[in-house]
Structure 1
């Protein structure tokens, strides 16, 4: 109680003397260290240049991909949910800010009744007589009532700061949802293109094996080829036909996934895909800062986690302030009018007060428990922030490694397909002239098919690594310049101790 009286005696005169701004319990924020390496341990694909990442999918110069991503964002429940959370957080922020200001309510009332008076007369032995006069009474009242909680210990300001951080965090999560949808759609689109490329390889292989089977059957019928070789050729053709059917089914399933993502009718989507070029060259990668701290600051999810720490810190200050006295001031002005039997009387009223001070005494430990719970949520937010930074570093490093590895393998894959094709052509010519066996031809064909399939898979891997890198870098999002956070994930984030 001595401590409460001392705080109240210091804060109350200060609040009344300088506009009732009060004194706050919050102290200057401390710093939370984030685990970031000094440099990347994976090769940068551009030599350290810092080109813009904004709208990275437009760099492909593929209008269909841009259209699909826009359609997917419009159809995505995750983006819609994130947008709803932004609107909710904005409303909460307005409410928290309004709590710092006086409230003003208008009131009006009307009532109607009757009023009466009695008159009596009598004397001596005469009988007493009386009369009652009844008149209607109308009462009209209108006024304004105001109430203001003076933020002595910073509870309302802490609530406002927490709500503002949550609103900014919701905005960042909305951007993160958009980036995720764009990346998912791009991956589905590239998977569709890779599936169609693999389908063309399977169709070519099937046609080649079917032609070999036909010619072998003719040769066996003329007695120039053994029945065993003819059976081998037919088995090879059937095997290729089965793979072709399987590949078509895979492409059909993949297309339905793209339909579900974009919300575009399947027939319309098929027409758009048929009218668009099958494969485009991936652009050079830019915008990957050599210093991880600069790169990670571009991620909206890390920024959201950072704001989560700030919000939790403000919540601790608010819960702590709940343990101290509350000061509120109220007042009203109004007019009251009476009307009865041709008589009218108006009264103007106003009041200032009461100026009330509420001091918490006994609450069974609930306020202390609320403070402890807020501190636990703060510790959880710090842990989540640090984990998000570690995960962000991991995702960027993995994407850099995969992109570099797929780039290095591309030349070898192209060379393998080219040379296996030359070898197959030569073996086929030798087989046609009777200098090579059917077994040699089929072995050469199988090797070529494997190399062609591997090259298509590598192209798919490279596009996935390209998308993963841009997604891990935030997809072109940049931290707001007007952010209230004074630090970055460089290693520190502002919090309360």
Structure 2
């Protein structure tokens, strides 16, 4: 510790070194640190810390849908013919614990990024002290009071702390992309649940009509049997058919109730209120706008927030490797303090400034039982794991887009045939029913025609559900219109 000797004099002050000696001592320390940096600077060879390239194929193998554009995805839900769907998605986002957890991870990552950046800067603390006593037998009783600011700084000669900062930044980017992915997934889940409910309601109407028709057939058959115009076997068959239809109707109602409760859980809307809102467009399947898909897979996959998040995790793992390598190299730190002091002893007192610069400390790892080397190996293993996860997510993304495209192509190609079949079987059933009432067709013929008509109509409703679900799956597979660097996102 040095002191301003013009303003503070201590009885036992030690002899001061000549200014030239102090200057030479500082020069030697600085030269030693510089030489040490030159000797070991080349020992640190951090891996590249950029995102891996998208190893995507040159083109899609499935046919691409026509019309639409990728920019429509950012407000895609507004392009449905059902405003209630948008309201349900907004409610689900407000109530989602998954989104809340994703937002919390962003806050944690942001705090980690701040802490890692602060580690590169000097630390400054203030402290005050007061001491009363005797230093030795010759010194009178005295009091020394001081207050000073203490600074410390570890010089990041080999980039370890910069690597930690870069890793923290990459993890913050990953957490932000994860939040966007959660929003896209939640919107798709709500839309899929809503679609399932509307398809269930459409099937319920079909089942109700079928049950009413079978019940009427059973009533007429019973009257005919009592009059002797129908056999007991036909009467039993009609009763069985009507009972089967009622059972199917009860099962379909239960399924629709389950779908409503699933939406209640997703949106946190009270069930009576939700049912009142759902009543407006009951049994009407929402129809989305079409989505255009770029023919170049790499352009499409660059919109996936989960792929971006995985890529940033690779970057963070690469920086962790550099940080763990730096821990094996010397560490240089610098400290200092300055502050006012007051001394009072045996009638002698003084005021002045106490200051110190140093020590410049160099810590050189010599032996740790292989701990630091093991940390480097572990960091490299985590890097390999992150790279493997990224490659797996890339393959999954390619599969999801291809599957959605195949489903769209399949449902489009089946649509006309399914409508033709439904219309044809319905016409056949109506004709057979008229013949049955005229006594020209048997009950077996009527039930067979009815069964075929019901199955064809149910298949058409299911095909319509599959097609809308394929559009929703494509929306999710394309990342919901997200772009890297987006900080806020409109309703997805």
TM beyond 0.5: yes
Matches within 5 A, 1:58-457: 58-110=78-130, 139-276=144-281, 278-280=283-285, 282-338=287-343, 345-457=350-462
In 2, distance between residues paired with 1:7 and 1:384?
45
Q: Aligned-pair distance for 1:86?
A: 0.8
Tell me, yes or no, if the aligned pair for 1:22 and 1:150 is still in contact at 8 Å.
Answer: no
Structure 1, gaps ≥5 residues long: 1-5, 15-20, 119-133, 483-497
The residue aligned with 2:17 is: none
Q: SS of 1:40's equivalent?
A: coil
In 1, distance between residues paired with 2:318 and 2:32?
22
**1:166-203 CA-partner distances (Å, limit 9, x unpaired):** 10001111111111111111111111111111111100
**1:311-332 CA-partner distances (Å, limit 9, x unpaired):** 1111111111111111111111
Q: SS of 2:457's equivalent?
A: helix
In 2, distance between residues paired with 1:436 and 1:31?
72
Tell me, yes or no, if the aligned pair for 1:183 and 1:468 is still in contact at 8 Å.
Answer: yes
Tell me, yes or no, if the aligned pair for 1:26 and 1:317 is still in contact at 8 Å.
Answer: yes
Are residues 417 and 116 of structure 1, via their aligned partners in 2, closer, same or farther at CA, if it must alter by over 3 Å? Answer: closer
Are residues 341 and 278 of structure 1, via their aligned partners in 2, closer, same or farther at CA, if it must alter by over 3 Å? Answer: farther
**1:20-40 CA-partner distances (Å, limit 9, x unpaired):** x99974365588565421100
Q: Aligned-pair distance for 1:258?
A: 1.3
RMSD over aligned CA atoms reads 2.9
Alignment length (residue pairs):
455
Q: Aligned-pair distance for 1:225?
A: 1.9
In 1, distance between residues paired with 2:353 and 2:182?
58
Q: Aligned-pair distance for 1:340?
A: 7.7
Tell me, yes or no, if the aligned pair for 1:64 and 1:276 is still in contact at 8 Å.
Answer: no
In 1, distance between residues paired with 2:341 and 2:32?
41
Are residues 326 and 71 of structure 1, via their aligned partners in 2, closer, same or farther at CA, if it must alter by over 3 Å? Answer: same
Q: SS of 1:106's equivalent?
A: strand
In 2, distance between residues paired with 1:10 and 1:265?
72
Q: Aligned-pair distance for 1:301?
A: 0.5
Are residues 448 and 117 of structure 1, via their aligned partners in 2, closer, same or farther at CA, if it must alter by over 3 Å? Answer: closer
In 1, distance between residues paired with 2:378 and 2:249?
61
Are residues 290 and 23 of structure 1, via their aligned partners in 2, closer, same or farther at CA, if it must alter by over 3 Å? Answer: same
**1:353-385 CA-partner distances (Å, limit 9, x unpaired):** 111111111111111111111111111111111
In 1, distance between residues paired with 2:135 and 2:125?
35
Q: SS of 2:279's equivalent?
A: helix
Structure 2, gaps ≥5 residues long: 1-30, 488-492
Q: SS of 1:478's equivalent?
A: coil
**1:398-421 CA-partner distances (Å, limit 9, x unpaired):** 011011111221221122111211
Tell me, yes or no, if the aligned pair for 1:51 and 1:286 is still in contact at 8 Å.
Answer: no
Are residues 253 and 31 of structure 1, via their aligned partners in 2, closer, same or farther at CA, if it must alter by over 3 Å? Answer: closer
